[in-house]
Structure 1
Amino acid sequence: MKLSFHGANRDVTGSCHLLHAKGLRILIDCGLYQGGRELDEENAEDFGFDPASIDILLLTHAHLDHCGRIPLLVKRGFTGEIITTAATRELTRVVLLDAAHLQEEEAERHSRQAHRHGRRPPPALYGTLDALNALDQFGRTANYGETIELAPELTATFYDAGHILGSASIRIEETTGKRRSIIFSGDLGNKGRPILRDPQVPPKADVVVMETTYGDRAHKALAPSIDEFYDAITETFARGGNVIVPTFALERAQEILYYLREGIEAGRLPKNLPVFLDSPMAISATEIFRRHPECYDAEACDLFNNGKDPFALPALRFVRETADSIALNRLVGGAVIMAGSGMCTGGRVRHHLRHNLWRKESSVVFVGFAAPGTLARVLIDGAKRVKLFGEQIPVRAKLYTINGFSAHADQAELLDWHGALKPERTVLVHGEEKAMRTFADLIAARKTKVSMPKKGDELSL
């Protein structure tokens, strides 16, 4: 086996790893880099391998930083099979079509600007047709715990990663000779969350390639985080403002709806709390959630079995149309507006920030990870002014950063998961370098060789 690295190396976006085994070239994830303009340029660069040479792509889950460059991979020659779970397949369709639409809109905007200045506009990274072509490459469906033959004497098994609906850790094994094995963690979930099961620990393997997003810190406890969220809404409404929640469409939007429903039922929030889910992708994802009870934990299953929708609120409104989204900007106060993207790198949330950041009555509640270079991180780090749509907007709204909602395992959970596997070699990916180094120091005493590859590095296993 040989492994090379083409994304999310000492960074938290762009996951892409290439495994050579039994004559096959197997790609694990093909994600988009997310952040500033430099990363936009990096997305358009060569992959570091020939896309046409890839035989199989194994997809851990549907987040954009794990699947977002698949249409570009196909556009540049990939014709192999994509294997993933049923839920991930459905969610990926929504994510890629949305990403293609945004790419086309961005290219059109750049084209108008370039035309005015007599420059040649950069092309879209990919378009809707490329996304549809990519969806044609999805083949076999992976069920948790069932072995899939990739080639004679080479298998892959998907295990529930508990991160988002359909997410998986993937164990690949050569079944003859030394029976070598390798596990790709994907993104591991945070235990004790609603809706989804806790992450499974796969059987032991020789090599583990694992994420380290929160390898240097612990999450805030969940119960105080929920209380803080309810208090943020109550305090903002008392000031007469709106609550803007930059929301990841997959998992986070559904989890927040779940907690809002619980808060209403417990009397912590007004019964007719006005909640607007202003994200076509999150709306579609919520409908997909309802179709995949095989991913639910026992509590969520009980709710559905008793005829109760865990995502239903008395005054919840789904906002699909652009005109309806624009109309929300006329709301002065008393509304919870959930909109994407979670890192504020694009989407409708930027318009809501433009209309609410300057208002001291309003609040912005961050409930997820914000990568360096993103608008969300800039705000969290204390910026006094930010540029939105060519306009400098003063930051007067109250900002809340509630870390307890994270869908990622924290340091202790990562250590527990790794400790159960006892690998001979551990390869750390998908994390900022500081988090990686902290985590590497903690596991170094476990008699495991630790690697922190850079982009383009190769390892012989």
Structure 2
Amino acid sequence: MTISLQFFGATEEVTGSCHLLNLGDKQVLLDCGLIQGSKSDAMRNFDPFPFEPSQIDAVILSHAHIDHSGRLPQLVKNGFSGPIYTHKASAELCEIMLKDAAMLQKRDVERLNKKRIKQQLPPLEPLFDEQDVLRTVKQFVPLNYDEQIQPLPQLKLRLNDAGHILGSALVELWLLGINKKIVFSGDLGREGMPILNDPVAIEEADLVLMESTYGNRLHRSWQQTIDELAEIFAATISGGRGNILLPAFSVGRAQELLYLFHLYAKQWDLSRWKICLDSPMAIEATKVYLNNYPIMDDDFKRFTRQHPGEHPLLSNVEFIQTTEQSMELNEISEGLIIIAGSGMCNGGRIRCHLEHNLWRSECDVIICGYQALSTPGRMLVDGASQLTINGKPVKVAASIHTVGGLSAHADQEELIHWYQQFKSAPPLLLVHGEPEAQQGLIEAIKASSIRQPSSLLAVQRGDKLALDSLPELVWLP
């Protein structure tokens, strides 16, 4: 009987998380994420799965972000009918995010097929539609943190708080037939961030799969980040003209920004500015945050108890629901703060706002999240002089600020600290990171004073590891 783990996504890249656990006659998928980035990257989502979806017995989902959950409806469409185990809040968020993804799939494929017809290429079908999403949602099995279950005779499962977004989970897996334990970090959050609890420390494992998104860099401290934002707002507000755009992920970053604007409204002199959350999905996600406040950090829960009726995510923001309302914002030339998706500027309403503000030197764009290679957001970070938006070149004259301290991903030091809490220095495999970040993390671990992992490397797509050989790593052909 083969007990193995094979890696099919988020290998030497940050998107498309997908790992296959083979338990002999049972197969379990860890995440099933959408590949994001350039147009050629997105086209890889149309490739067949490298396994038979109907043979997958269960999926364990670390959290709701689309690069971890976005191909679940496609998996269901292609024959998967088993349970999807995830945290309760992640299940609620996925219902919102996957419906939005289905809408975007339909729109993007219609646009792409117009070009393919001109090129005499066969049209494509969307990866999935809303009916596939509805079927997928019915297959979710919501769990609580620290709740241990046995989804299969050979497997026990427990989720713990990863501190990345609402519902994000560290996945603990006990392989009962071979008496081994795997820990999968999913996306690992940071200590001291607002709203969420710190990532849980885990002490025992025979193998650790750890993300490495920011493995080669250190974030600014939380206080330095607050000071940096204060400087940006002070400079813009004192000028009295221009708008501020914040491309933000609809789940996690948008809610974090709303909380900060509430906490620092007076200090940052925001009262004279109109703050708009221009993202229907972020608005729906915010409602999920409101309903799940018991799993927030102590400061957030304390505030909600002490200020009934004054919720910190709702107090000073206007929700923009309709397209018409969103377009009206482009008639406002100054005094406007817009939070809108997508977080990497490769879709959503932020592109329209960039088209109307990016060429204006009196405006500011605050990049406050990870930007994948080849995305418009990454181009702004890398100093692009213009972007193509809706087929037209738009000059970059606005001030571009990259505020890395708002990242929801652990940096190099935090990743090492989280791993350091394992008692026996188990083998460590790096996933979910670009090669430069992974190599930087490997070098930092080797140079550190922590107990060195018995094995340490970044996995590649298709790598297959024999789990019954742990702690030695034996790679199967």
- Contact kept, 8 Å, 1:13 with 1:31, in 2: the verdict is yes
Aligned to 1:228: 228
TM-superposed CA distance for 1:272, in Å, is: 4.4
Equivalent-residue separation in structure 1 for 2:25 and 2:146 (angstroms)? 25
- Contact kept, 8 Å, 1:204 with 1:423, in 2: the verdict is no
SS at 1:261 equivalent: helix
Deviation sequence 1:142-161 (CA, Å, 0-9, x none): 21111110222420110100
Equivalent-residue separation in structure 1 for 2:207 and 2:181 (angstroms)? 7
Matches within 5 A, 1:136-285: 136-139=138-141, 141-175=142-176, 178-237=178-237, 238=239, 240-264=241-265, 266-285=266-285
TM-superposed CA distance for 1:326, in Å, is: 1.0
Aligned to 2:101: 99
Matches within 5 A, 1:112-127: 112-115=114-117, 119-127=121-129
Pick closer, same or farther for the CA change 1:267–1:442 going to 2, 3 Å: closer
Deviation sequence 1:111-130 (CA, Å, 0-9, x none): 34445666543222222122
Q: What letter is aligned with 2:30?
A: I
Q: What letter is aligned with 2:233?
A: I
Equivalent-residue separation in structure 2 for 1:272 and 1:356 (angstroms)? 19
SS at 1:428 equivalent: strand
Aligned to 1:55: 57
- Contact kept, 8 Å, 2:428 with 2:453, in 1: the verdict is no
SS at 1:338 equivalent: strand
TM-superposed CA distance for 1:29, in Å, is: 0.3
Equivalent-residue separation in structure 2 for 1:333 and 1:390 (angstroms)? 26
Aligned to 1:455: 461
Pick closer, same or farther for the CA change 1:447–1:90 going to 2, 3 Å: closer
TM-score norm. by structure 2 comes to 0.93
- Contact kept, 8 Å, 2:272 with 2:335, in 1: the verdict is no
Equivalent-residue separation in structure 2 for 1:121 and 1:151 (angstroms)? 40
Equivalent-residue separation in structure 1 for 2:11 and 2:118 (angstroms)? 38
Unaligned runs of 5+ in 1: none
Deviation sequence 1:261-297 (CA, Å, 0-9, x none): 1111x43223243101000111001110011123211
- Contact kept, 8 Å, 1:427 with 1:452, in 2: the verdict is yes
Equivalent-residue separation in structure 1 for 2:427 and 2:97 (angstroms)? 33
- Contact kept, 8 Å, 1:22 with 1:151, in 2: the verdict is no
Deviation sequence 1:333-380 (CA, Å, 0-9, x none): 110011001111111101111111111111110011111111100111
TM-superposed CA distance for 1:232, in Å, is: 1.9
SS at 2:236 equivalent: helix
Q: What letter is aligned with 1:191?
A: E
Deviation sequence 1:232-263 (CA, Å, 0-9, x none): 23323415111010011111111111111111
Equivalent-residue separation in structure 1 for 2:429 and 2:120 (angstroms)? 48
Equivalent-residue separation in structure 2 for 1:279 and 1:447 (angstroms)? 43
Pick closer, same or farther for the CA change 1:156–1:331 going to 2, 3 Å: same
- Contact kept, 8 Å, 1:83 with 1:142, in 2: the verdict is yes
- Tell me whether 1:74 sits opposite 2:76 in the alignment: yes
Figure out how many residues of one structure are paired with residues of the other and give that number.
Answer: 457
Deviation sequence 1:201-233 (CA, Å, 0-9, x none): 224110001101111111011122122223323
- Contact kept, 8 Å, 1:107 with 1:123, in 2: the verdict is yes
Q: Which stretch of structure 1 is more off in the superposition, 149-158 or 5-14?
A: 149-158
SS at 1:404 equivalent: helix
Q: What letter is aligned with 1:402?
A: V
TM-superposed CA distance for 1:381, in Å, is: 0.3
Equivalent-residue separation in structure 2 for 1:162 and 1:114 (angstroms)? 43
- Contact kept, 8 Å, 1:104 with 1:124, in 2: the verdict is yes
SS at 1:455 equivalent: coil
TM-superposed CA distance for 1:110, in Å, is: 2.6
- Contact kept, 8 Å, 2:212 with 2:437, in 1: the verdict is yes
Aligned to 2:471: none
Aligned to 2:20: 18
- Contact kept, 8 Å, 2:155 with 2:174, in 1: the verdict is yes
Deviation sequence 1:57-88 (CA, Å, 0-9, x none): 00000001000111111111111110101100
Equivalent-residue separation in structure 2 for 1:46 and 1:203 (angstroms)? 38
Matches within 5 A, 1:27-38: 27-38=29-40
Aligned to 1:446: 452
- Contact kept, 8 Å, 1:95 with 1:281, in 2: the verdict is yes
Equivalent-residue separation in structure 2 for 1:114 and 1:11 (angstroms)? 28
Equivalent-residue separation in structure 2 for 1:459 and 1:414 (angstroms)? 23
- Contact kept, 8 Å, 1:22 with 1:154, in 2: the verdict is no
- Contact kept, 8 Å, 1:239 with 1:361, in 2: the verdict is no
SS at 1:65 equivalent: helix
TM-superposed CA distance for 1:195, in Å, is: 0.7
- Contact kept, 8 Å, 1:275 with 1:336, in 2: the verdict is yes
Equivalent-residue separation in structure 2 for 1:228 and 1:6 (angstroms)? 39
SS at 1:159 equivalent: strand
Instruction: State the Cα RMSD in Å.
Output: 1.6
Q: What letter is aligned with 2:105?
A: Q
- Tell me whether 1:294 sits opposite 2:294 in the alignment: yes
SS at 2:264 equivalent: helix
